[in-house]
Amino acid sequence: MMKQGILSILMASLLLFVVACGNDGSTSTNGDDGGSEQEQYTIRIAGGAVGPEHSLTRTFHFLKEQLEENSDGRFQVDLSVAGELGEDREIIEAMQMGEVHLASPSPAALGGFNKGVAILDMPFLFTSRDIAYDVLDGEPGQMILDGLDGAGLKGLGYFENGFRNVTNDTKPIESIEDFQGLSIRTMQNQTHIRAWELLGANPTPMAFGELYTALQQGTVDGQENPFGLIVANKFFEVQDYLTVTNHVYAPNVIITNSSFYEELPSDLQQVFDEAVRDAIEHNRELAQQEEIDARAELEEQGMEVYEFSQEDLQQMQDITLEVYEEFKDDIGEEVVDLFLEASLE
């Protein structure tokens, strides 16, 4: 009897050992007694550095459920959120090495892999969500996704970070002039740095994970992000003033590792694609509601909220238009023209 127990434990640990050896996400288990071979795939999802309550994090939890349920357990999802796997850049590099299989970094972090990506969060490109969805889900958006192939990445679509607005702890920003001399943290994105220079501020590029501390210690006066992130990452604790500018619609680019995807059996590729499509729809609902709830939360948290007038917004748009001219060659004239035409339709 005793001997039988040890044998089964030995067998079990041997099986575990075999499973642990597979790092490309695939494992093999015997199905039922019929002996049919059902490959199992581990999908490692990196949810990025956004807070645990943010709509993006909640979307990844939803995606995990979809992948596991719709594949009858053949997909096993290992989800890391709230910065557990580092910043966007690190996550992309881990994906290129096949260690991460799904993520949705900001365009800024992908710029080094495909120059065209920089068009995605240019100032005032999308003046409404509907226009953003139409263009991103259309030919222009697909062109950018296809452009990631060269980097061993497969672009799958777009989640929503939202419309970016400005916060600071120095003074109310009520008009363009109030940007003068303010040190504003930006993403590590040349077009954003240039836009803030043109507006008279001192842009300070910095990784997202360092932002809260930089605001707390006064290394920078302010930053710009959607309401949802200002709440989820608690920037309201270290910022007093919020100015509504909606100066950039920020999408997040959903990516996977090309070879991981290609090696999936076709029926699981279908499950994977459908789950991502459902998650995009779910994410947009969450993000839209989050924008409303988060703005109310920021007022409840005592932030002083200022709205830019139409004149100030138009002036901000006119000043930052210069960025399109300056980066047209870098991004690619064809890409810039296609997005501008599509976003004006």
Which residue ranges make up the site for ligand TK8 (CB under 6 A)?
A: 48-50, 88, 106, 161, 187, 208, 225, 229, 250
Q: Taking the complex as a whole, how short is the minimal distance between the CB of residue 250 and ligand TK8, in angstroms?
A: 6
| Closest CB 203 distance from ligand TK8, rounded Å | 13
As measured in angstroms, the least distance from the Cβ of 95 to ligand TK8 is: 14
**Residue with Cβ nearer ligand TK8 (22 or 209):** 209
Shortest Å distance, C-beta 99 to ligand TK8? 18
Nearer Cβ to ligand TK8 (173/250) = 250
Q: How many residues appear in the chain?
A: 345
Give the Cα separation of 74 and 70 in Å (integer): 9
- In whole angstroms, how far apart are CA 193 and each of 117, 184, 223, 312? 16, 9, 12, 20
C-alpha separations of 15 from 23, 24, 193, 221 in Å: 15, 17, 53, 55
The angle, 0 to 180 degrees and rounded to 10, between the axes of the packed helices 333-344 and 129-136 is 130
**Min CB(252)–ligand TK8 separation in Å:** 7
Is the Cα dihedral 193, 194, 195, 196 positive or negative? positive
Distance CA 149, CA 46 (A): 20
Of residues 199 and 268, the one with the C-beta less far from ligand TK8 = 199
Judged by beta carbon, residue 88 or residue 221, the one nearer ligand TK8 is 88
Q: Which is nearer to ligand TK8, 27 or 225 (CB)?
A: 225
Shortest Å, Cβ 28 to ligand TK8: 35
Q: Cα dihedral sign for 205, 209, 212, 218?
A: negative
Q: Whose Cβ is closer to ligand TK8: residue 71's or residue 188's?
A: 188
Q: What minimum distance in Å lies between the beta carbon of 106 and ligand TK8? A: 3
Strands 153-168 and 222-225: antiparallel
In the complex with ligand TK8, the residue whose CB is nearer, 255 or 342, is 255
State how far the Cα of 289 lies from the Cα of 240, in Å rounded to an integer: 23
Look up residue 140 and give its two tokens.
Answer: 């222009």
Q: Closest separation between CB of residue 101 and ligand TK8, Å?
A: 18
Q: Distance between CA atoms of 262 and 156, rounded to whole angstroms? A: 13
CA distance 313 to 290: 23
Copy the structure tokens of residue 19: 């499973």
Nearer to ligand TK8, 100 or 271 (CB): 100
C-beta neighbour count of 97 within 10 angstroms:
9
Query: What is the rounded distance in angstroms from the CA atom of residue 331 to the CA atom of residue 233?
Result: 31
CB of 46 to ligand TK8, least distance (A): 10
Residue closer to ligand TK8 by CB (options 188, 258) is 188
Distance CA 235, CA 223 (A): 9
Q: Which CA distances in Å does 181 have to 163, 202, 212, 224, 295?
A: 23, 6, 21, 16, 26
